[in-house]
């Protein structure tokens, strides 16, 4: 276990490098040559143009006054009011920011309370003085519950604060859920003129030997929704898939006269398109059992999307059509039973992935053990043994090894979610995020707590009785506070700093710009900033909520790091959302219930841990008071679910208000 010095050094290094990143960004963002990397959103909107600047200032900013205001970006990103931000960047972006704000709302009061009450209570006790010289004697542990003696009355403070924290978190969660649900419904109402508000996606259309899919749909809706049915659009299976990037990183191998090349390309494509169109319209097999059905009123569409059409619940499945850009076309026509078995198979695959992923990771982590490295690579010994370098290695290596493995994970999980058969990109992002979160809970959180793979944890839990589990948590979790503090810095702070610097897009943009960009269209392609990457952002925030809540009472020293993460993230993502990202779709905050549920689950883990800890400390008189808390939290969960979840699942018929 690291000492306070190790931790301070690590914090200084991580904090310092974060500040350096910020300064570099503050400098680079003022340079015209990086305008398209740091402000692509404004170019896409057409507000900002390269030609706006005088020729001589197109590459480097020579105006010294600009550098006086080099930190203004923070103020600028904070300044934009939320309604304007929704208008500018979409509701998903605004609600993503609210998640970071939620983190601040939850953890800042916790931080204040902990440092006013818990830290003095812990620090003035003497449990660790008795056992000095042991592992436990690290200074930071004096601030944690480990320093409180067994059977001490001081433990009442921890118990009471668990109640206060739970109540406060529930209060904040409740208000946020209410606000977000309101924002979502207001937003959907403001979108009333959009075609998808009148359109329903109908799948699993049964075969009809006598008529084509199109006619079948038409007849069906003319009979069953005759008052509001307007028209249908059949799903077609085309060899033309979505325009896919050719070559590596958008680099094409040939060099040709562009005009000639594109003219011939266009001719070829037009010809192909005509043939394909003809083929599709004549070929019955190209018609998929899927249709977009449009109604003459939102009421008609809402009715169709919420009701069961026929006696067979596996046929004529209707749901709100996602926005056209949100539809994941490939999955529309999967037969019902296949969809069902895909779901089972992917669930099994995710369980296997979670159980066995840790085998290669622990292998690499064991290589990263300092003592082992010293022993194996003996000539490095003098270097490693220097206190400074040893501290760095101890602070960085375990977190880094994990991080590298986690980098390839999102793509794997996204592929699994696609195979699972979800219909929209927003759902894919949410489902990949959910898988990623479960993965992190078992393979980052519990794996670090119990220093074992998910497979070993499974064995552990199978052979422990349910009444032993809180104690298991209470024993193991407090020991890992410093590891997670280092993890927060390496994973949290550094990745947010990397997020704002956009080093990879910066280099790629200039590389492409030099090599291939001929026209304005090319340049736009090269700067394309992409969407919000919710599939990676959400699970990470979920993990930090878990860490913050679980350690708030046990080792309050973690809270400043968590609060810094949320504050810093809020600042950076506000900038990114305003200046950089251009969302691929708009799901109107459809991901909020996921985040809400995860925070609630984190609270329950926090309470179980405290229960176990108190029984380890033999505080028998205060333990029963905690036992009701998980039940109350669960009741809170069902209550908010009943009140607010429907805003994200159903669509009320009431149109006027």
What is the helix (H) or strand (E) element at residue 356, kind and residue range?
A: helix 336-356
The radius of gyration of the chain from alpha carbons, rounded to an integer in Å, stands at 28
What is the helix (H) or strand (E) element at residue 293, kind and residue range?
A: strand 287-295
Of 49 and 189, the one with the shorter C-beta distance to a second copy is: 189
Residue 621-640 contact track with a second copy, rule CB under 8 A, x = bound: --------------x---x-
Select the residue interacting with a second copy from 96, 301, 303, 563 (CB under 8 A): 303
| Number of CB atoms found within 10 A of residue 352's CB | 11
Sheet holding 229-236, edge to edge: 229-236, 287-295, 199-203, 317-320
Task: Determine if 308 is a binding residue for a second copy (CB under 8 A).
Answer: yes
Of 67 and 634, the one with the shorter C-beta distance to a second copy is: 634
Task: Determine if 310 is a binding residue for a second copy (CB under 8 A).
Answer: yes
The closest alpha carbon to 322, from 597, 530, 590, belongs to: 590
Q: What is the DSSP string of 140-154?
A: GGGGSGGGSPTT-TT
Measured distance CA(250)–CA(517) in Å, rounded? 11
Task: Determine if 456 is a binding residue for a second copy (CB under 8 A).
Answer: no
Residue where the block lists tokens 């600047």: 53
Of 226 and 379, the one with the shorter C-beta distance to a second copy is: 226
Task: Determine if 207 is a binding residue for a second copy (CB under 8 A).
Answer: no
Q: Are 482 and 623 in contact (CB under 8 A)?
A: no
Residues β-bridged to residue 229 = 295
Task: Determine if 653 is a binding residue for a second copy (CB under 8 A).
Answer: yes
**Of 101-109, 224-232, 427-435, 448-456, which part binds a second copy (CB under 8 A)?**
224-232
**Of 101-109, 206-214, 439-447, 643-651, which part binds a second copy (CB under 8 A)?**
643-651
Q: Considering only residues 171 through 190, tell me which ones interact with a second copy, judged by CB under 8 A.
A: 185
Task: Determine if 655 is a binding residue for a second copy (CB under 8 A).
Answer: yes
Q: Are 187 and 588 in contact (CB under 8 A)?
A: yes
Provide the token pair at 503.
């080093």
Task: Determine if 363 is a binding residue for a second copy (CB under 8 A).
Answer: no
Task: Determine if 210 is a binding residue for a second copy (CB under 8 A).
Answer: no
Q: Are 298 and 198 in contact (CB under 8 A)?
A: yes
Task: Determine if 340 is a binding residue for a second copy (CB under 8 A).
Answer: yes
In angstroms, what is the minimal distance from the CB of 350 to a second copy?
A: 15
Task: Determine if 591 is a binding residue for a second copy (CB under 8 A).
Answer: no
Task: Determine if 356 is a binding residue for a second copy (CB under 8 A).
Answer: no
User: 3-class SS at 134?
Assistant: coil
Measured distance CA(413)–CA(77) in Å, rounded? 32
Of 266 and 643, the one with the shorter C-beta distance to a second copy is: 643
Select the residue interacting with a second copy from 461, 483, 508, 625 (CB under 8 A): 461
**Of 258-266, 419-427, 600-608, 648-656, which part binds a second copy (CB under 8 A)?**
648-656
Helices vs strands, H then E, count in the chain: 31, 4
**Of 27-35, 201-209, 220-228, 418-426, which part binds a second copy (CB under 8 A)?**
220-228
Of 356 and 639, the one with the shorter C-beta distance to a second copy is: 639
What is the helix (H) or strand (E) element at residue 639, kind and residue range?
A: helix 623-644
Question: Which residues are at the interface with a second copy (CB under 8 A)?
Answer: 185, 223-225, 227, 299, 302-303, 306-311, 313-314, 340, 344, 461-468, 635, 639, 642-643, 645-647, 650-657
């Amino acid at each position: 276990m690291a000492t306070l010095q190790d931790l301070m050094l690590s914090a200084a290094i991580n904090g310092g490098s974060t500040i350096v990143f910020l300064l570099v960004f503050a400098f680079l963002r003022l340079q015209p040559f990086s305008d398209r990397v740091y402000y692509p959103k404004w170019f896409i909107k057409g507000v900002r143009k390269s030609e706006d600047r005088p020729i001589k200032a197109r590459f480097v900013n020579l105006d010294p006054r600009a550098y006086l205001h080099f930190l203004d970006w923070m103020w600028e990103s904070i300044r934009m009011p939320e309604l304007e931000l929704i208008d500018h960047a979409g509701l998903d972006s605004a609600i993503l920011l609210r998640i970071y704000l939620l983190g601040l709302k939850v953890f800042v009061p916790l931080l204040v309370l902990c440092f006013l009450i818990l830290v003095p209570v812990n620090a003035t006790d003497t449990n660790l003085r008795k056992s000095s010289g042991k592992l436990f004697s690290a200074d930071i542990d004096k601030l944690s519950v480990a320093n409180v003696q067994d059977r001490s009355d001081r433990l009442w403070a921890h118990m009471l604060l668990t109640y206060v924290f739970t109540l406060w978190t529930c209060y904040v969660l409740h208000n946020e859920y209410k606000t977000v649900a309101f924002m979502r419904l207001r937003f959907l109402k403001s979108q009333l003129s959009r075609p998808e508000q009148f359109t329903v996606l109908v799948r699993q259309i049964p075969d009809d030997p006598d008529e084509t899919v199109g006619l079948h749909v038409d007849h069906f809706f003319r009979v069953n929704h005759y008052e509001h049915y307007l028209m249908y659009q059949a799903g077609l299976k085309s060899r033309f898939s979505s325009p896919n990037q050719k070559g590596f990183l958008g680099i094409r191998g040939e060099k040709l006269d562009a005009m000639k090349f594109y003219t011939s390309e266009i001719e070829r494509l037009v010809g192909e398109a005509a043939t394909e169109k003809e083929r599709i319209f004549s070929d019955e097999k190209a018609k998929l059992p899927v249709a977009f059905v449009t109604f003459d009123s939102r009421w008609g569409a809402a009715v169709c999307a919420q009701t069961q059409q026929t006696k067979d619940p596996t046929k004529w499945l209707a749901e709100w059509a996602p926005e056209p850009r949100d539809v994941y076309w490939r999955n529309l026509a999967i037969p019902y039973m296949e969809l069902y078995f895909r779901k089972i198979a992917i669930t099994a695959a995710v369980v296997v992935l979670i159980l066995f992923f840790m085998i290669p990771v622990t292998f690499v982590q064991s290589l990263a053990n300092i003592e082992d490295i010293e022993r194996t690579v003996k000539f490095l010994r003098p270097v490693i043994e220097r206190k400074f370098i040893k501290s760095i290695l101890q602070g960085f290596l375990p977190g880094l090894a994990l991080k590298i493995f986690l980098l390839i994970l999102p793509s794997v999980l996204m592929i699994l979610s696609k195979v699972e058969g979800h219909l929209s990109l927003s759902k894919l992002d949410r489902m990949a995020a959910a898988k990623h979160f479960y993965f992190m809970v078992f393979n980052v959180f519990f794996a670090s707590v119990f220093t074992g793979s998910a497979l070993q944890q499974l064995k552990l839990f199978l052979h422990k009785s349910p009444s032993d589990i809180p104690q298991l948590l209470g024993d193991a979790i407090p020991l890992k506070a410093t590891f997670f503090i280092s993890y927060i810095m390496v994973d949290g702070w550094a990745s947010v700093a990397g997020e704002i610097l956009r080093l990879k897009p910066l280099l790629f943009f200039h590389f492409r710009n030099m090599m291939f960009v001929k026209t304005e269209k090319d340049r736009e392609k090269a700067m394309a900033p992409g969407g919000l990457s919710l599939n990676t952002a959400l699970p990470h925030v979920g993990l930090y909520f878990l860490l913050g809540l679980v350690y708030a009472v046990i080792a309050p020293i973690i809270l400043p790091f968590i609060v810094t993460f949320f504050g810093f993230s809020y600042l950076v993502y506000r900038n990114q959302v305003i200046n950089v990202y251009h969302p691929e779709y708009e799901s109107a905050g459809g991901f909020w219930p996921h985040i809400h549920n995860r925070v609630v689950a984190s609270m329950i883990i926090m309470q179980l841990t405290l229960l176990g800890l108190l029984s380890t400390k033999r505080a028998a008189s205060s333990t029963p008071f905690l036992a009701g808390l998980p039940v109350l939290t669960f009741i809170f969960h069902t209550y908010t679910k009943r009140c607010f979840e429907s805003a994200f699942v159903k669509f009320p018929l009431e149109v006027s208000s």
